[in-house]
Amino acid sequence: MTQAHSSKELIIERAEWQDAPALAELGAKTFTDKFGHLYSAENLSRFLAESHSQAAYEALLSDADTALWVSRDSDGKLAAYAVAARGTSLPIDGDASGAMEIKRLYVDQTYQGAGLGRQLMDVMLAWISEAGDRPIYLSVYKYNDGAQRFYQRYGFSEVKEITFLVGDHVDPELLYGRPDSAGDF
């Protein structure tokens, strides 16, 4: 899957072990660009060390139930990435044994508007569908209206309000879900 942007072609492919350092860099950058202003330096630093370190991405890449994709330009620089998993760590009511999760979908500011979010979402949903017809969950910041609209276009809707920790800071978050074809969560 390719897309032209700023005279460079962007390619989406599965992330590999050697991508961990670049994923950590892009993960920290995109999270900070979008949400960094909401947190104290201490809380942001702690969260980035826990969730966007090279070791954190190596753990994701080592997990057989987790898949990561990257979008890179012709020079190999990462423009975006996505993470999906078989199973979920989100606080689901009821039996979540067959559920799937969209864990992350981030596009660097330079490449926003190039359709990468849509392309990565399509790739994740295709991977998820290989496991069969299952409910899918994700969480989204309560005040990120653009992301909520994006997920709603894919059939996701709000299930309930939850919280998300960034260091000691508690964010209001929304649990979104997309039921299986029978309408079951």
169 in any annotated domain: no
Question: What pTM was computed for the model?
Answer: 0.92
162 in any annotated domain: no
Provide the token pair at 4.
């032209």
114-130 mean pLDDT: 95
> pLDDT tens digits, residue range 58-87?
999 999 999 999 999 989 999 999 999 999
Quick one: pLDDT at residue 182? 66
CATH of the domain at 28: 3.40.630.30
User: Of 114, 120, 116, 121, whose CA–CA distance to 5 is shortest?
Assistant: 114
72 in any annotated domain: yes
Based on the structure, what is the number of domains in the chain?
1
